[in-house]
Chains A and B, each alone.
Chain A
Amino acid sequence: TQLLEQSPQFLSIQEGENLTVYCNSSSVFSSLQWYRQEPGEGPVLLVTVVTGGEVKKLKRLTFQFGDARKDSSLHITAAQPGDTGLYLCAGNSGGSNYKLTFGKGTLLTVNP
């Protein structure tokens, strides 16, 4: 069974601070997805990274896929209260989304 370890599990910061969330595995993934889940809602896709070393930006969010496609990071610049939520990474091991492996998530709270 492939595992994705996310760290930190919890993160509470002040508005305006920067942060990085990590998603690590000993296994290689064909792609990796990041989702955000807000309270009372289902997860929503933020980005998919496919190529080793790939960097994608979504406004203040920067996503990177490791060169070996075993790890990924999410960096948020100047966090805002609207960034509060549970961030989940999900690795695709078999080229099929049947085989997504989810990390346990990072619960981010951004205080005004």
Chain B
Amino acid sequence: DVKVTQSSRYLVKRTGEKVFLECVQDMDHENMFWYRQDPGLGLRLIYFSYDVKMKEKGDIPEGYSVSREKKERFSLILESASTNQTSMYLCASSLIDRDNSPLHFGNGTRLTVT
């Protein structure tokens, strides 16, 4: 069974802090994703990665960066947290570009920026 683990369930940070959200998957998946989920807006893709050190911007990359130094780990970085980045963050992984491979999600990190 695929397991996607997000390091924190809840985080509270102050405006301006640098924030790291960590995600690890144990099934050797090539693709990894970061989404944010907000009421009324659904899931929006921030960044994805299809290989180590490779990354592509999603729909809302502004204010975020990512790092993928190892295949199993994908980090989301908020360089200077702002209150509008308060949200639920979901990490996901999948097999490489195989037709209709499902996304396997972690249980989310609820980030509050005060």
Contact = CB atoms under 8 A, between A and B. Distances in A.
Given A42-B92, A43-B105, A97 B100 contact: yes
Interface string A88-99: 101010011110
A100 interface: yes
B31 A95 contact: no
Interface stretch (A12-20, A44-52, A56-64, A74-82): A44-52
Contacts of B45: 100
Q: Which of A44, A95, A97 has the most CB of B within 10 A?
A: A97
Given A42-B107, A42-B108, A102 B102 contact: no
A40 interface: yes
A104 B100 contact: no
A6 to B, nearest CB: 8
Contact of B102 (A33, A96, A104): A33
A92 B8 CA distance: 30
B62 interface: no
Interface of A: 1, 31, 33, 35, 40-45, 48, 50, 88, 90, 92, 95-98, 100, 102-105
19 contacts: A31-B100, A40-B108, A42-B106, A42-B107, A42-B108, A43-B103, A43-B105, A88-B42, A88-B43, A90-B103, A92-B100, A97-B31, A97-B100, A97-B102, A97-B103, A98-B31, A100-B45, A102-B42, A105-B42
Top-5 shortest CB links A-B: A42-B105, A104-B42, A45-B102, A102-B43, A48-B100
